[in-house]
Amino acid sequence: MYEAGPFVDLQIAVGVIIMVLGFLGCCGAIKENRCMLILFFVGLLLIFILLLIAGILGAVGEKKSQVWVKESLAKLLPLKDQKPEIQMDLQKLEVEAKCCGLINGPSDWGSSVPSSCDCVDTAQVCQSAGGRKVYSTPCVKFVTSFMEKNAIIALGIAFGIAVLMLFGMAFAMTLYCQIGKRDANTT
């Protein structure tokens, strides 16, 4: 039986939190309930602060994440000793990324460099290994550059979500204050 990992549990928890916050905001606005609106505001504020902290830590820890990737990939060396499934996945990566090996280049495979490392793109840097021309660029460079490119996209999405959260907080507080003024005028 398939066991769900902690990432799936985290997604479920985040979904439940968003659903509860949406309920509080929607019902608070429809029923004009100040308690629900303030809970909605506080929930959005907490998530906004967590998003801000995650963004700061991500920007500050970029070099640490690159070091972590290199250390994680280094645990797979030597590649010839890995399971066939892992070797096949690495060879697919090598074909797609036009790289060879993980950290040190073709030497990561030992004496038996696979055909996935064969240098078919003349624009890439190649070297000779075992009488064949193979890519000399290790795949760790592709992985880290992929992470850097997608970090910018993730940062943009996070910024967009943060702006939406600010609007949500502003509207909730505006409605909260308007309900308070109306209640003060009617009494």
Question: What pLDDT is stored for residue 147 in this prediction?
Answer: 82
The number of angstroms, rounded, from the C-alpha of 30 to the middle of its chain's C-alpha atoms is 36
Question: What pLDDT is stored for residue 1 in this prediction?
Answer: 43
pTM across the whole model = 0.62
176 touches 38 (CB < 8 A): yes
Could you report the per-residue pLDDT of 128-177, keeping only the tens digit for each? 777 788 888 888 888 888 888 888 788 888 888 889 999 999 999 999 99
Question: What pLDDT is stored for residue 54 in this prediction?
Answer: 81
Could you report the per-residue pLDDT of 59-118, keeping only the tens digit for each? 777 777 778 778 887 787 777 777 888 888 888 888 888 888 888 878 887 778 788 888
Question: What pLDDT is stored for residue 170 in this prediction?
Answer: 94
Q: Where are the alpha helices (DSSP H) in 32-97?
A: 34-60, 62-74, 84-97
DSSP per-residue string spanning 51-62: HHHHHHHHHHTH
Question: What pLDDT is stored for residue 81 in this prediction?
Answer: 77
Quick one: pLDDT band at residue 49, thresholds 50, 70, 90? very high
